[in-house]
Chains A and B, each alone.
Chain A
Amino acid sequence: MPGLEVLEKLDRRWLFLIMGLLVLEPLMFPLALPLTVTRPVQGFVDAIDKVPDGSTVLMSCDYDPSGIPEMVPMTRTAFRHLLGKNCKVVITVLWPGGPGLVDSVLSEVAREFPDKKYGVDWVNLGYKSGNEAVMVVMGQGIANAFPRDYRGLDSRSLPVMREVRDYASFPLLVNISSGYPGTKEWVQQVQARFHLPMVAGVTAVSAPEYYPYLQSGQIRGLLGGMAGAAEYEKARGEKGSATRGMDAQSLGHLFVAFCILLGNLIRRRPAEARS
């Protein structure tokens, strides 16, 4: 079949073009495909809902700009969720490329709550190198590991930190992570050792890795990639960037599935036909 021969020699730039158009089109003209909130996402929402209003929650944002489309919507919604419950939030970052991005996102959300003050209702403790070692040292005292916050202020002097000693000061850890160090390390070093309940938001590609922890109850809820972030937005009644991105991701996934099937169809023809 001449059509298949053309496809066999197809320049891959055509595939790039089609993928680009499929991603671009729904971002410009949303399809508003229906979303269903799955159990891991509902677990995430329920775990935060169960935190007593006004308590202090630890949130670790372990990612850098490569994870913006998946991680930032989760961070926004979770931080908004916590501030909406009048929780105080202590934020840490364990990725060197992340602090600037995380601070911008948090500041943007905090502006929606004019009554919430930096240092009183939330604090960004910034980045500390050391990966798992930082997590363990935080168990001796949060301010031991982070003597100064991201803005260079003495963290012990901040009102939000006055009630914070170690992991026992928090009812929940919210971890938004796109790799190492991240959710796996928080489970192994902190949840298992200090018995701190936790929920996690992770990239779609790494989500399968955390299902055993979810099933064992070590993670109370899980947001997997942009789909998880979009479901979280739906559960919270928000329409953020993840919800808008899901249409584009749907068409992208459809196209990749189509490529797998078409690629195999072409190459399954008899050798004579192909030559």
Chain B
Amino acid sequence: MKRELPLAITAAIGVFMILSFFVPHQAVSVPADFLQASAIIVVAFGYVLGGANVLRVNFDGIYKRQPDWPYKILLLAGLIVTFAIGAIDGVEQHGGFLDQGTRSKWIYDNLYSPMSATMFSLLAFFIASAAFRAFRIRTVEAGLLALAALLVMLGRVPVGDLATHWLPAPARLGAIQDWIMNVPQNAAKRAILIGAALGVMATGLRVILGIERSYLSGEE
């Protein structure tokens, strides 16, 4: 029963939700709408679970003096302080904890926002280093990949067109990158998308039919 009941609920709800897509009658659409609205609440609980998990994993790491444990202290301090300040601001501002002038807004603008942007900006430096050290052209396929990468990379920026402006329009880098993106890239991407969609449908069917049970307790 411990296993059969969740499987039966999953199958019933799965079939019902598929049905709601094709049957607009309110006997189906109203409960389906309710279930969809409930999903938002379930997802919101995920944040609570996620927060609790961060606390558990990092407290455990600090207790066991795992490598880099001092960073875990910093992480937890950041989490707790931000949460506490947000809660205080929320009470003081009647919910508007990110209003102009609040401490939470200051943390968001001056800590979270620049740090987040900085992490992403570092990619430019690491891509340059990886391009120099790791992008090895050892096979014909790797050569084609490198050629396509170079053409698209240069064709996407104004300098590519500027360097080839003396060529006929279809031979300019901008036009070549446009063709690569619209024809071979698009065909490959479409194949991947269709393959992934078929995979999702198959997995969905396996879950509804009770063949796929790993979501219950980790078993196959």
Residues of A within 8 A of B (CB): 10, 12, 15-16, 18-20, 23, 33-36, 38-39, 64-69, 96-97, 99-101, 103-104, 128-131, 133-134, 136-137, 140, 144-145, 150-152, 204, 208-209, 211-212, 215, 224-225, 227, 246-247, 249-257, 259-264, 267
The complex places the Cα of A173 from the Cα of B168 at a distance, in Å, of 38
* Interface pair A215/B128, CB less than 8 Å apart: no
Chain B's closest residue to A230 (CB) is B158
| SS of B interface (majority) | helix
Please indicate which of the listed interface residues A16, A23, A134, A264 has the most CB atoms of chain B within 10 Å of its own CB.
A264
Given A19-B124, A250-B157, the answer on whether A140 and B43 have CB atoms closer than 8 Å is no
B213 contacts A by Cβ under 8 Å:
no
A-B contact pairs, 10 of them (CB 8 A): A67-B120, A101-B113, A137-B37, A152-B96, A208-B186, A211-B186, A224-B156, A246-B158, A250-B157, A259-B131
Q: Give the chain B neighbours of A260 by CB distance below 8 A.
A: 131-132, 135, 146, 149-150
Which among A69, A212, A257 is the interface contact of B150 at CB below 8 angstroms?
A: A257
Apart from A69-B117, A211-B185, what are 15 other A-B pairs with CB-CB below 8 Å?
A19-B128, A33-B158, A34-B162, A39-B178, A66-B116, A66-B120, A129-B40, A137-B40, A140-B33, A152-B94, A212-B189, A253-B154, A253-B159, A254-B154, A263-B133
Q: Give the chain B neighbours of A136 by CB distance below 8 A.
A: 36
Nearest first, the 3 A-B pairs at minimum CB distance are A33-B158, A130-B40, A133-B39
* Interface pair B156/A204, CB less than 8 Å apart: yes
* Interface pair A249/B132, CB less than 8 Å apart: no
Interface hits, B68-88 → A, CB 8 Å: none
Q: Give the chain B neighbours of A150 by CB distance below 8 A.
A: 98
* Interface pair B36/A33, CB less than 8 Å apart: no
* Interface pair A130/B174, CB less than 8 Å apart: no
The complex places the Cα of A110 from the Cα of B182 at a distance, in Å, of 36
* Interface pair B37/A144, CB less than 8 Å apart: yes
Please indicate which of the listed interface residues B39, B105, B120, B128 has the most CB atoms of chain A within 10 Å of its own CB.
B128
* Interface pair B95/A68, CB less than 8 Å apart: no
* Interface pair B129/A253, CB less than 8 Å apart: no
B202 contacts A by Cβ under 8 Å:
no
The complex places the Cα of A209 from the Cα of B186 at a distance, in Å, of 8
The complex places the Cα of A103 from the Cα of B113 at a distance, in Å, of 13
Q: Give the chain B neighbours of A101 by CB distance below 8 A.
A: 108, 113
Min CB distance B110 to A, Å, is 11
* Interface pair A259/B128, CB less than 8 Å apart: yes
Min CB distance B148 to A, Å, is 11
Chain B's closest residue to A266 (CB) is B132
* Interface pair B109/A100, CB less than 8 Å apart: yes
Q: Give the chain B neighbours of A151 by CB distance below 8 A.
A: 96, 99
* Interface pair B128/A97, CB less than 8 Å apart: no
Given A38-B178, A136-B36, A253-B159, the answer on whether A130 and B129 have CB atoms closer than 8 Å is no
* Per-position 1/0 for B106-133, Cβ under 8 A of A: 0011001110110111001101110111
Given A12-B133, A33-B162, A100-B98, the answer on whether A128 and B40 have CB atoms closer than 8 Å is yes
Chain B's closest residue to A246 (CB) is B158
* Per-position 1/0 for B160-188, Cβ under 8 A of A: 01100000000000100010011001100
Which among A23, A33, A66 is the interface contact of B119 at CB below 8 angstroms?
A: A66
Given A16-B125, A99-B98, A145-B40, the answer on whether A215 and B47 have CB atoms closer than 8 Å is no
Which among B116, B128, B182 is the interface contact of A16 at CB below 8 angstroms?
A: B128
* Interface pair B112/A97, CB less than 8 Å apart: yes
Min CB distance B147 to A, Å, is 10
Given A257-B153, A260-B150, the answer on whether A208 and B128 have CB atoms closer than 8 Å is no
* Interface pair A130/B153, CB less than 8 Å apart: no
* Interface pair A15/B128, CB less than 8 Å apart: yes
* Interface pair B112/A227, CB less than 8 Å apart: no
Chain B's closest residue to A70 (CB) is B120
The complex places the Cα of A232 from the Cα of B98 at a distance, in Å, of 30
Given A130-B39, A137-B37, the answer on whether A12 and B105 have CB atoms closer than 8 Å is no
B65 contacts A by Cβ under 8 Å:
no
Please indicate which of the listed interface residues A35, A66, A204 has the most CB atoms of chain B within 10 Å of its own CB.
A66
Min CB distance A263 to B, Å, is 4
Min CB distance A218 to B, Å, is 12
B190 contacts A by Cβ under 8 Å:
yes
Q: Give the chain B neighbours of A253 by CB distance below 8 A.
A: 153-154, 156-157, 159
